[in-house]
Amino acid sequence: MKKQNKFLKNFLSAAGMALLLGSFSFTALAADSQNKIEEGKFAKTKTKLTQEEKAKKITADLGVQPNKKQAKKTKAKRGATTKAEEQAVPTEPVQPVEPPKPVEPPKPQSIVVSVAGDCTMGSYLEEGQIFDPEYREPGSYEAYYSANGPTYFFQNVQEIFANDDFTWINLEGPLSHYGPTEIKTFPIRCHPEEVNTLKAGSVEVCNIANNHIYDCGWDGFNDTVKILTENNLGISGEGHKYTTTKNGIKITFLGYTSFAANSELYDMIKKDIIQARTEGSNVVMVQFHGGEERIYYPPYDQQEVFRYTIDTGADVVIGAHPHVIQGIEMYKGKPICYSMGNFSFGANWNPVDKDTFIYQATFTMTADKKVSLTAQKVIPCRISSVSYRNDFCPTILTGEEGERVINRLREYSSIFPVPYNF
């Protein structure tokens, strides 16, 4: 019983103490809150906060987000830059882009071939005369060579020959110092060193099918072939065919003597042209040495041979030997020059007829690899730079003199069904 009373007494004492402490805490809390309210009122009346400071205080004390619209304005105000500032910022220069260049179609490939007449790089000699390398008869071809050198003879046509692709002449007479001259009328011998005349004159191909190439016998003939070959000159005639390629166009040069227009000659022409075409030649040019001297219209047998050569597949036919010019025929659209006449002709110091010409043909390959004759030109010349004698220096004729030679060719060509259009 005493224990119960003691417990109750203690309990009441503890409860009273707790009640007293609680009353004190509540009173203190109320007083503290009142003080804070009073301090806030005092601060409000004492200092007026800016809108930005208010936003910061709310964020810090109460965790409330500030006005977003106002924050955006503030941010914009802080981070704003002027146009001048933006333009002042250095930037990488913009490189201009070049427009693509138009692709040009490939230009058609062409070759130009110039043809001239009989050339003898030496004089007529006596029958059986032994070669004398020191002999220079005054006024002879050899004397002009000694005095002027190899560049003299073709100097007045050099521009034509140097700017074509091939120059083709008839070399009438051997280049050799071997043996005596043949027992015949008007034998011809040329000094071997005079091959330099051909080289200096931009001659690329020599036809040796003629009636004077054996004037120093077989030794002289073989010597001529050797000298031409060693000097990189092409050879046509007497068993030689010259085939080469320039600017993608393959061309073959053939040569024959045509004094006897027999079946053997016809068979040889056909065989050689077919072989050249089979081996891929785009152009075939043929030169003949024959006919009659000093007549201006070709005999019928020469016309037959030349036309047959076109029928067999040649593109151009050239004639030599008459020592005077003859007409030009367009046979089935292809040219036949029946006689080119003399050109640089050392074997006659003063022929009566000194007119001559250069025939020039242009062949062009089209995109489909077909080759055709696309241009022709006739250039009137005289075999000498002077009219009163032969100085062996072929010269282009212009003005009235040039027109005179063209008119002669026009007249000589009028006998053909389709003459060349001068």
pLDDT in tens, 313-332: 999 999 999 999 999 999 99
Say what the pLDDT of residue 237 is: 98
pLDDT at 155: 98
Measured between alpha carbons, how far is 291 from 212 in angstroms, rounded to an integer? 15
Locus of tokens 């001297």:
293
Please state, in angstroms and as integers, the Cα–Cα distance from residue 303 to each residue in 133, 314, 412, following that order.
Answer: 41, 14, 14
Does the model's pTM come out above 0.85?
A: no
Task: Calculate the average pLDDT of the chain.
Answer: 84
In this prediction, residue 263 carries a pLDDT of 95
pLDDT above 90 (res 133):
no
Mean pLDDT for the stretch of residues 194-208: 97
Flag whether pLDDT at 311 surpasses 70.
Answer: yes
CA 42 to chain centre: 102
Averaged over 282-292, what is the pLDDT?
A: 97
Q: CA-based Rg of the chain, rounded to a whole angstrom?
A: 55
Query: What's the confidence (pLDDT) of residue 222?
Result: 96
Are the C-beta atoms of 338 and 326 separated by less than 8 Å?
yes
- Of residues 52 and 317, the one with the higher pLDDT is 317
pLDDT the model gives residue 156: 98
| pLDDT, tens digit, 9 for 90 and up, residues 139-162 | 999 999 999 999 999 999 999 999
**Cα(first)–Cα(last) distance of the chain, in Å?**
166
In angstroms, rounded to a whole number, what is the distance separating the alpha carbons of residues 358 and 377? 8
For 70, residues 6+ apart whose C-beta sits below 8 A from its C-beta are 51, 55
Q: Give the pLDDT score at 169.
A: 98
Mean pLDDT value of segment 208-235: 96
The percentage of the chain sitting over the pLDDT mark of 90, rounded to a whole number, equals 65
CA distance 107 to 329: 31
CA–CA dist 198, 326 (Å, integer): 25
How far apart are the C-alpha atoms of 194 and 180, rounded to whole Å? 19
Per the CB < 8 A criterion, the answer to whether 212 and 188 are in contact is yes
Pairing of β 166-171 and β 188-190: unpaired
Please check whether residue 211 is in contact with residue 257, taking contact to mean a CB–CB distance below 8 angstroms: yes
- pLDDT band per the 50, 70, 90 thresholds, residue 24: very low
For strands 328-331 and 334-337, give the pairing.
Answer: antiparallel
Q: Are 113 and 180 in contact (CB under 8 A)?
A: no
